Structure 1
Amino acid sequence: MKNSIHNQLILDGTSNAIRTIIPLNMNIHPSFFMNEPYNQQEIGVLIGFIGDIRGRIIIDGLQSTFSQLAANMFGMPIEGEMLESFTGEFGNMLAGNICTYVGSQNINIDITPPTVMVGNTKLYGFEKACHLPVTIDGVGELTILFTIDDED
């Protein structure tokens, strides 16, 4: 029961966070659950949740999507190491906003440092993940996945 409540909190927090930090029109598509493995595209960031909710969030997309997102948010496109750094910081912003939302519901949650993943990667280690596709006007598509670890 707790996992379904926690899943909904993270999902609501994610929708709220993405609308808060991205100053563009977007379409947040319906979420769905998927089983492992997940095939990451070109670049992504993984951040862990710790505290009352334990799990992970992965934000995945094309390098061109993250570069265009940076251009819209900060006024200039970026590439290379700066793009990798931006991707990690974008993940921090999103996950931090999720923590603020979840914390407003009296649940203690924090995040781990981001792990940026570059290149096509097949991700394992979860039974079920919530998959949330987002299309950002003039930028491209992001995939947001989150998993909630089983309660002890």
Structure 2
Amino acid sequence: MILTRSVTDILNSSIEAIKGVIPLYIDVLQPSLLTEPFSQHKIGVLIGITGDVRGRMIIDGEEECFQSLGASMFGIPLEGEMLESFAGELGNMIAGNLATLLAQAGHTLDITPPTVIVGQSKMYGFEKALELPIVIEKVGHFLVILMIE
């Protein structure tokens, strides 16, 4: 029961954190259960969650989607290292907001620094995860993966 409450809190707080960081209309699609492996697309950012709730969050999307989001948020096109840095900072802002929201819900936790993953890769090492697809207006599709231990 505690794990179910924690997962529900993480899912709901993740949606709220994303909407709090990204100043565009976001359509949150139906979450689904994901079993390993997870195949990452072009750019992803991984952030660890430690404390009462342990796990990882991955924000995954195509390069063009991160570029459009960066241009929408900052008004300038981002490429190369600047785009990768933006992806890491975006993940950091969302996870930091998530940690704050979960603390308000009574969970004690912290986040790790973001790890940016570029290129095609597969991720193993988790039993189950939630896959949360989101569509950001005029930007594109992203996947938020929540791996809860």
CA distance in 1, matches of 2:131, 2:3: 16
| Structure 1 residues not aligned, in runs of 5+ | none
Please say if 1:95 is aligned against 2:75. no
1:90 maps to amino acid: L
Please state if 1:34 is matched with 2:34. yes
Aligned-partner Cα distance in 1 for 2:44–2:2: 28
Q: Which residue of 1 aligns with 2:11?
A: 11
**Equivalent residue runs for 1:41-56 within 5 Å:** 41-56=41-56
Structure 2 letter corresponding to 1:84: E
Query: TM-score, with normalisation over the residues of structure 1?
Result: 0.96
**Which residue number corresponds to residue 139 of structure 1?**
139
Deviations 1:10-57 (A, max 9, x none): 101111011111111121001111100011000000000011111000
Counterpart-to-counterpart distance in 2, 1:3 and 1:147: 13
Instruction: Please give the root-mean-square deviation of Cα atoms over the aligned residues, in Å.
Output: 0.7
User: Hey, what does 1:130 align to over in structure 2?
Assistant: 130
Deviations 1:90-134 (A, max 9, x none): 000010111011000121111001110000101111110000000
* Counterpart Cα distance in 1 of 2:77 and 2:68: 6
Paired residue type of 2:73: M
Task: State, as a whole percentage, how many aligned pairs show the same letter.
Answer: 48
Q: 2:80 is matched with which residue? A: 80
Task: Determine the structure 2 residue equivalent to 1:67.
Answer: 67
In the TM superposition, residue 61 of structure 1 has moved relative to its aligned partner by 0.2
> CA offset at residue 148 of structure 1?
1.0
Residue identity matched to 1:69: L
Q: What is the CA–CA distance in structure 2 between the aligned matches of 1:65 and 1:3, rounded to whole Å?
A: 33
Question: Which contiguous aligned blocks of 4+ residues in structure 1 show a shift greater than 2 angstroms?
Answer: none
Aligned to 1:20: 20
Q: What corresponds to 1:106 in structure 2?
A: 106
